[in-house]
Chains A and B, each alone.
Chain A
Amino acid sequence: GAVVSQHPSWVICKSGTSVKIECRSLDFQATTMFWYRQFPKQSLMLMATSNEGSKATYEQGVEKDKFLINHASLTLSTLTVTSAHPEDSSFYICSARGSGEKLFFGSGTQLSVL
Protein backbone atom coordinates (compact mmCIF):
# COMPACT_ATOMS: atom_id res chain seq x y z
CA GLY A 1 0.00 0.00 0.00
CA ALA A 2 0.87 3.65 -0.17
CA VAL A 3 3.47 4.92 2.30
CA VAL A 4 3.67 8.27 4.01
CA SER A 5 6.92 9.01 5.78
CA GLN A 6 6.99 11.55 8.59
CA HIS A 7 10.14 12.86 10.25
CA PRO A 8 11.26 13.28 12.89
CA SER A 9 9.44 10.75 15.05
CA TRP A 10 10.12 12.78 18.15
CA VAL A 11 11.78 16.06 18.98
CA ILE A 12 12.64 17.87 22.16
CA CYS A 13 13.37 21.57 21.91
CA LYS A 14 13.79 24.63 24.07
CA SER A 15 11.04 27.19 24.33
CA GLY A 16 11.36 29.86 21.64
CA THR A 17 12.97 27.69 19.00
CA SER A 18 11.35 26.59 15.74
CA VAL A 19 10.79 22.99 14.73
CA LYS A 20 10.20 21.64 11.23
CA ILE A 21 8.30 18.42 10.60
CA GLU A 22 8.39 16.76 7.18
CA CYS A 23 5.75 14.62 5.57
CA ARG A 24 6.58 12.72 2.38
CA SER A 25 4.51 10.49 0.17
CA LEU A 26 6.98 7.84 -0.93
CA ASP A 27 5.22 6.02 -3.75
CA PHE A 28 2.44 8.31 -4.89
CA GLN A 29 1.82 11.95 -5.65
CA ALA A 30 -0.18 13.67 -2.95
CA THR A 31 -2.26 16.51 -4.27
CA THR A 32 -3.61 17.20 -0.80
CA MET A 33 -2.01 16.78 2.58
CA PHE A 34 -3.55 17.30 5.99
CA TRP A 35 -1.97 18.16 9.32
CA TYR A 36 -3.47 17.06 12.63
CA ARG A 37 -2.52 17.42 16.24
CA GLN A 38 -3.46 15.06 19.02
CA PHE A 39 -3.30 15.70 22.74
CA PRO A 40 -2.93 12.75 25.13
CA LYS A 41 -6.02 10.53 25.22
CA GLN A 42 -7.83 12.80 22.77
CA SER A 43 -8.71 12.43 19.15
CA LEU A 44 -7.10 14.02 16.14
CA MET A 45 -7.93 17.63 15.45
CA LEU A 46 -7.47 18.92 11.92
CA MET A 47 -5.12 21.90 11.85
CA ALA A 48 -4.86 22.70 8.17
CA THR A 49 -5.23 21.42 4.64
CA SER A 50 -2.46 21.99 2.14
CA ASN A 51 -2.65 21.68 -1.61
CA GLU A 52 0.47 21.55 -3.73
CA GLY A 53 1.50 24.96 -4.97
CA SER A 54 -1.05 26.97 -3.03
CA LYS A 55 -1.45 28.41 0.43
CA ALA A 56 -2.69 26.17 3.19
CA THR A 57 -6.21 26.47 4.54
CA TYR A 58 -6.22 26.66 8.31
CA GLU A 59 -8.98 25.55 10.64
CA GLN A 60 -10.59 28.03 12.96
CA GLY A 61 -8.45 28.76 15.97
CA VAL A 62 -5.18 27.62 14.39
CA GLU A 63 -2.61 30.41 14.08
CA LYS A 64 -1.22 30.41 10.56
CA ASP A 65 1.79 32.50 11.58
CA LYS A 66 2.69 30.03 14.28
CA PHE A 67 2.15 26.85 12.27
CA LEU A 68 3.72 27.44 8.87
CA ILE A 69 2.81 24.91 6.23
CA ASN A 70 4.59 24.54 2.93
CA HIS A 71 3.50 22.10 0.23
CA ALA A 72 6.10 22.85 -2.40
CA SER A 73 5.94 19.58 -4.30
CA LEU A 74 3.54 16.70 -4.88
CA THR A 75 5.48 14.51 -2.47
CA LEU A 76 6.47 16.83 0.35
CA SER A 77 4.69 19.00 2.88
CA THR A 78 6.33 20.60 5.89
CA LEU A 79 4.92 21.97 9.13
CA THR A 80 7.07 24.46 11.01
CA VAL A 81 6.14 25.28 14.58
CA THR A 82 7.62 28.72 15.07
CA SER A 83 8.75 30.02 18.46
CA ALA A 84 7.52 26.87 20.13
CA HIS A 85 6.20 27.04 23.69
CA PRO A 86 5.35 24.25 26.15
CA GLU A 87 1.66 24.45 25.22
CA ASP A 88 2.62 23.44 21.68
CA SER A 89 3.80 20.09 22.99
CA SER A 90 1.65 17.54 21.24
CA PHE A 91 1.58 14.66 18.79
CA TYR A 92 1.46 15.92 15.20
CA ILE A 93 0.34 13.65 12.36
CA CYS A 94 0.18 14.25 8.64
CA SER A 95 -1.91 12.45 6.08
CA ALA A 96 -1.89 12.42 2.33
CA ARG A 97 -4.33 11.64 -0.41
CA GLY A 98 -3.38 10.70 -3.93
CA SER A 99 -5.78 10.00 -6.74
CA GLY A 100 -7.93 7.62 -4.73
CA GLU A 101 -10.15 8.12 -1.72
CA LYS A 102 -8.13 6.59 1.06
CA LEU A 103 -6.03 8.75 3.29
CA PHE A 104 -2.64 7.47 4.33
CA PHE A 105 -1.13 8.64 7.56
CA GLY A 106 2.39 9.28 8.67
CA SER A 107 3.71 7.70 11.86
CA GLY A 108 3.46 10.97 13.76
CA THR A 109 5.87 13.33 15.52
CA GLN A 110 5.90 13.74 19.28
CA LEU A 111 6.97 17.31 20.06
CA SER A 112 8.07 18.20 23.57
CA VAL A 113 8.89 21.84 24.28
CA LEU A 114 10.83 22.47 27.47
Chain B
Amino acid sequence: KQEVTQIPAALSVPEGENLVLNCSFTDSAIYNLQWFRQDPGKGLTSLLLIQSSQREQTSGRLNASLDKSSGRSTLYIAASQPGDSATYLCAVESSNTGKLIFGQGTTLQVKP
Protein backbone atom coordinates (compact mmCIF):
# COMPACT_ATOMS: atom_id res chain seq x y z
CA LYS B 1 0.00 0.00 0.00
CA GLN B 2 1.39 3.35 -1.05
CA GLU B 3 2.14 5.78 1.77
CA VAL B 4 3.22 9.37 1.27
CA THR B 5 4.97 11.30 4.02
CA GLN B 6 5.84 14.97 4.10
CA ILE B 7 8.40 16.58 6.35
CA PRO B 8 8.24 19.00 8.05
CA ALA B 9 4.57 19.29 8.99
CA ALA B 10 4.96 23.02 9.49
CA LEU B 11 7.59 25.57 8.65
CA SER B 12 7.97 29.25 9.45
CA VAL B 13 10.63 31.34 7.72
CA PRO B 14 11.42 35.02 7.23
CA GLU B 15 10.74 36.55 3.86
CA GLY B 16 13.51 36.07 1.29
CA GLU B 17 14.75 32.71 2.50
CA ASN B 18 15.16 29.74 0.20
CA LEU B 19 13.50 26.62 1.53
CA VAL B 20 13.02 22.94 0.82
CA LEU B 21 9.97 20.80 1.43
CA ASN B 22 10.37 17.04 1.49
CA CYS B 23 8.12 14.22 0.32
CA SER B 24 8.76 10.49 0.49
CA PHE B 25 6.75 7.56 -0.82
CA THR B 26 6.98 3.85 -0.13
CA ASP B 27 6.11 2.31 -3.52
CA SER B 28 8.27 3.34 -6.45
CA ALA B 29 5.68 2.12 -8.99
CA ILE B 30 4.39 5.59 -9.70
CA TYR B 31 3.13 7.19 -12.87
CA ASN B 32 3.85 10.73 -11.76
CA LEU B 33 4.24 12.97 -8.74
CA GLN B 34 2.55 16.32 -8.26
CA TRP B 35 2.99 19.20 -5.88
CA PHE B 36 -0.09 21.20 -4.99
CA ARG B 37 -0.79 24.36 -3.06
CA GLN B 38 -3.85 24.70 -0.84
CA ASP B 39 -4.97 27.92 0.80
CA PRO B 40 -7.16 27.67 3.94
CA GLY B 41 -10.67 26.49 3.10
CA LYS B 42 -9.90 26.35 -0.60
CA GLY B 43 -9.30 23.74 -3.26
CA LEU B 44 -5.98 22.68 -4.70
CA THR B 45 -3.81 24.37 -7.27
CA SER B 46 -1.38 22.19 -9.17
CA LEU B 47 2.13 23.64 -9.03
CA LEU B 48 4.35 21.09 -10.73
CA LEU B 49 3.92 17.63 -12.21
CA ILE B 50 6.90 15.32 -12.66
CA GLN B 51 6.58 12.24 -14.81
CA SER B 52 8.18 9.07 -13.47
CA SER B 53 10.84 9.29 -16.19
CA GLN B 54 11.77 12.86 -15.29
CA ARG B 55 14.15 14.11 -12.63
CA GLU B 56 12.87 17.64 -12.11
CA GLN B 57 10.50 20.37 -13.17
CA THR B 58 10.77 24.11 -12.76
CA SER B 59 8.20 26.89 -12.72
CA GLY B 60 9.33 30.37 -11.75
CA ARG B 61 10.73 30.29 -8.21
CA LEU B 62 9.68 26.66 -7.76
CA ASN B 63 11.77 23.62 -8.55
CA ALA B 64 10.67 20.06 -7.85
CA SER B 65 12.94 17.05 -8.05
CA LEU B 66 12.12 13.36 -8.16
CA ASP B 67 14.27 10.38 -7.23
CA LYS B 68 11.97 7.46 -7.91
CA SER B 69 14.42 4.78 -6.85
CA SER B 70 14.78 6.23 -3.36
CA GLY B 71 11.15 7.28 -3.16
CA ARG B 72 11.83 10.96 -2.59
CA SER B 73 10.85 14.32 -3.97
CA THR B 74 11.73 17.83 -2.90
CA LEU B 75 10.07 21.15 -3.60
CA TYR B 76 12.49 24.04 -3.57
CA ILE B 77 11.11 27.55 -3.17
CA ALA B 78 13.52 30.36 -3.89
CA ALA B 79 13.33 33.83 -2.35
CA SER B 80 10.18 33.09 -0.38
CA GLN B 81 7.44 35.73 -0.13
CA PRO B 82 4.54 36.19 2.31
CA GLY B 83 2.20 35.24 -0.54
CA ASP B 84 3.78 31.79 -0.58
CA SER B 85 2.17 31.07 2.80
CA ALA B 86 -0.08 28.05 2.30
CA THR B 87 -0.17 24.30 2.73
CA TYR B 88 1.85 22.36 0.18
CA LEU B 89 0.71 18.86 -0.67
CA CYS B 90 2.66 16.16 -2.43
CA ALA B 91 0.75 13.42 -4.25
CA VAL B 92 1.81 10.37 -6.21
CA GLU B 93 -0.24 8.65 -8.86
CA SER B 94 0.11 4.89 -8.69
CA SER B 95 0.96 3.22 -11.99
CA ASN B 96 -0.94 0.17 -10.79
CA THR B 97 -4.22 1.76 -9.72
CA GLY B 98 -4.18 5.23 -11.26
CA LYS B 99 -5.14 6.67 -7.88
CA LEU B 100 -3.64 9.82 -6.44
CA ILE B 101 -2.34 9.37 -2.89
CA PHE B 102 -1.65 12.51 -0.89
CA GLY B 103 0.80 13.31 1.85
CA GLN B 104 -0.28 15.14 4.98
CA GLY B 105 1.09 18.42 3.72
CA THR B 106 3.55 21.03 4.93
CA THR B 107 2.05 24.26 6.21
CA LEU B 108 4.35 27.12 5.32
CA GLN B 109 4.31 30.57 6.87
CA VAL B 110 6.53 33.25 5.38
CA LYS B 111 6.85 36.22 7.69
CA PRO B 112 7.33 39.74 6.26
Asked whether A46 and B43 contact (CB < 8 A) given A101-B32, A102-B49, the answer is: no
For A44, give its contact among B32, B41, B102 (CB under 8 Å): B102
For the complex, give the distance between the alpha carbons of A74 and B103 in Å.
29
Which 10 pairs across A and B sit closest by C-beta, in order of nearness? A107-B43, A105-B44, A43-B102, A108-B43, A105-B43, A43-B104, A44-B102, A106-B43, A93-B43, A43-B105
Asked whether A103 and B43 contact (CB < 8 A) given A42-B104, A43-B89, A46-B99, the answer is: no
Q: Does B11 contact A (CB under 8 A)?
A: no
Residues of B within 8 A of A102 (CB): 34, 46, 49
Q: Does A34 contact B (CB under 8 A)?
A: yes
Contact between A91 and B102, CB atoms less than 8 A apart? no
Which residue, of A49, A103, A106, has the highest number of chain B Cβ atoms within 10 A?
A103
For the complex, give the distance between the alpha carbons of A6 and B42 in Å.
11
For the complex, give the distance between the alpha carbons of A95 and B42 in Å.
13
Give A31-60 interface residues, CB cut-off 8 Å to B.
34, 42-46, 49
Q: Does A28 contact B (CB under 8 A)?
A: no
The distance from the CB of A93 to the nearest CB of chain B, in whole angstroms, is 6
Asked whether A108 and B42 contact (CB < 8 A) given A44-B89, A102-B49, the answer is: yes
Asked whether A91 and B41 contact (CB < 8 A) given A44-B102, A102-B49, the answer is: yes
For the complex, give the distance between the alpha carbons of A6 and B49 in Å.
23
The distance from the CB of A33 to the nearest CB of chain B, in whole angstroms, is 12
Q: Does A15 contact B (CB under 8 A)?
A: no
Q: Does B62 contact A (CB under 8 A)?
A: no
The distance from the CB of A78 to the nearest CB of chain B, in whole angstroms, is 17
Give A73-100 interface residues, CB cut-off 8 Å to B.
91, 93, 95
For the complex, give the distance between the alpha carbons of A106 and B101 in Å.
17
Asked whether A46 and B44 contact (CB < 8 A) given A101-B32, A101-B49, A102-B49, the answer is: no
Q: Does A110 contact B (CB under 8 A)?
A: yes
For the complex, give the distance between the alpha carbons of A70 and B34 in Å.
27
Contact between A103 and B46, CB atoms less than 8 A apart? yes
Asked whether A93 and B41 contact (CB < 8 A) given A43-B103, A49-B99, the answer is: no
Residues of A within 8 A of B101 (CB): 46
